[in-house]
Amino acid sequence: MTSMLEQYADIAGEDVVEHLRQLAGPLKNVTVIHVNSTRMGGGVAEILAKLVVLQRELGIDSRWEVISGESQFYGCTKSFHNALQGKQIAIPDALLKVYEETNAQNAALLRGALEEADVVMIHDPQPVPLSKHCPNRKGKWIWRCHIDVSRPYRKVWNYLRPFLLDYDASIFSLAEFVQPLPHPQYLIPPSIDPLAEKNIDLDPAELRRVYDQFNLDPARPILLQVSRFDRFKDPVGVIQAYGLVKRFLPPVQLVLAGGGATDDPEGDEVLAQVRTEADGDPDIHILRLAPDAHRTINALQRAADIVLQKSLREGFGLTVTEAMWKGKPVIGGDTGGIRLQVVNRHTGFLVSSPEGAALRIRYLLQHTDKLHEMGRKAREFVKEHFLLPRQVREHLTLMVALLHGNQERIELGR
């Protein structure tokens, strides 16, 4: 079987892979442990599944650990997530205690490995207090924040910040997210893996199957949003935009596809609200997908005419990247990481309201030449900026700098 690196050489070019090998030279046998709080669902798990494999192929001893807790822990960390993205939420002390105790319990299981690792990368707020429980750590600890912390609710940020003070570096996806912290902060946007089931080319027969499976009419336009059922993803706003479009055009179809993530307890509540808003409209297809339905999501993204990601806050939005890679223009919320990807009027449109989204949907459906042109530009933009080798290169560069930065000479490629 061909290695991932060999396959990337075919897609991104031999020199890109050669750069990765050179950068990985000084990192041979370095131990890197990534820690997050879910193995499936959501963008972080999606990224780690690939990043770890590629780092291992490059000779780095990269591992992925997942912390776990009871429902109150996930309730608390979901409140952190909402508060860091700007929502004013009072989190009871009892829940904060559960958060800290859950981290202490997980640290008891992971301490040995974490203290020995050369690099520990903690993803998002859930496992942040682990560092406090590893007093003899010898490696560099990095906080990798995937969410939009441009305007955090101060009370919650002030609670979390002290846990971050003894970290060696932080990574954010965008300059706007950077926060005052006493260590270097790096900007590394995420990426997608073009070789993953979610992104590989599909046989037309597979697309036809998805029309049948979900009762979609291939003769009518399909609008799609793929997302966890989360208020920040604004699924209700998407239905409102669809409602406005429907008044003017031959009937479009809307697909809202989303499963849950094991560390996101609010999905059912938001889904119920979405169903109420859809009001039994037979052209609104609400799909609850299994966490490993990657090929189905791939096929839906390819079957769609326009992809929406009408988020109100968005750390990055891998769903935007995935759709653009499939040559689809994206109508996205004018926020966070969507702004990095949707170049307004070139690779899609940035919008701030259901009315704005509806206006752009109508425009694209009436100007299909523009729709296709934007789709082509979208794919090129992803190819240039948001494929996995670029992200791996930046991670390797950061690790080389952190581990060897104080040396007079760093010899790459050995």
One of 27, 33, 297, 338 touching ligand UDP (CB under 6 A): 297
Yes or no: say if 278 and 285 are a contact pair by the CB < 8 Å rule: no
Binding mask 31-70 for ligand UDP (x = CB under 6 A): -----------xx--x------------------------
Token pair listed for 392? 């791996």
Does the footprint of ligand UDP cover residue 319 (CB under 6 A)? yes
Q: Whose CB is nearest to ligand UDP?
A: 43
Q: Which stretch binds ligand UDP (CB under 6 A): 23-31, 129-137, 238-246, 257-265?
A: 257-265
**Shortest separation between residue 297's beta carbon and ligand UDP, angstroms:** 5
The nearer residue to ligand UDP, 128 or 300, going by C-beta atoms, is 300
Token pair listed for 206? 């597979």
Angle, helices 267-278 vs 235-246, to 10°: value is 10
Q: Secondary structure of the chain: what % helix, strand, coil (to 5)?
A: 50, 15, 35
Instruction: Restricting to residues 195-234, name those near ligand UDP by CB under 6 A.
Output: 198, 226-228
**Shortest separation between residue 202's beta carbon and ligand UDP, angstroms:** 15
Tell me the three state secondary structure of residue 42: coil
The nearer residue to ligand UDP, 24 or 224, going by C-beta atoms, is 224
**Shortest separation between residue 299's beta carbon and ligand UDP, angstroms:** 12
Query: Strand 119-123 and strand 140-144: pairing?
Result: parallel
**Shortest separation between residue 3's beta carbon and ligand UDP, angstroms:** 23
Q: Within a 10 A sphere around the Cβ of 68, how many other Cβ atoms?
A: 16
Yes or no: say if 67 and 35 are a contact pair by the CB < 8 Å rule: yes
Does the footprint of ligand UDP cover residue 333 (CB under 6 A)? no
Tell me the three state secondary structure of residue 186: strand
Q: What angle do CA 253, 200, 231 make, to 5 degrees?
A: 45
**Shortest separation between residue 313's beta carbon and ligand UDP, angstroms:** 9
The nearer residue to ligand UDP, 263 or 305, going by C-beta atoms, is 263
Angle, helices 4-12 vs 43-57, to 10°: value is 100
Does the footprint of ligand UDP cover residue 258 (CB under 6 A)? yes
Q: Which residues contact 303 (CB under 8 A, 6 or more apart)?
A: 207, 210, 211, 216, 218, 222, 224
One of 318, 338, 340, 350 touching ligand UDP (CB under 6 A): 318
Q: Number of residues interacting with ligand UDP: please give it, by CB under 6 A.
A: 17
Q: Where are the alpha helices (DSSP H) in 117-234?
A: 154-164, 204-213
Does the footprint of ligand UDP cover residue 322 (CB under 6 A)? yes
The nearer residue to ligand UDP, 145 or 402, going by C-beta atoms, is 145
Footprint of ligand UDP (CB under 6 A) = 42-43, 46, 198, 226-228, 257-259, 289, 297, 316-319, 322
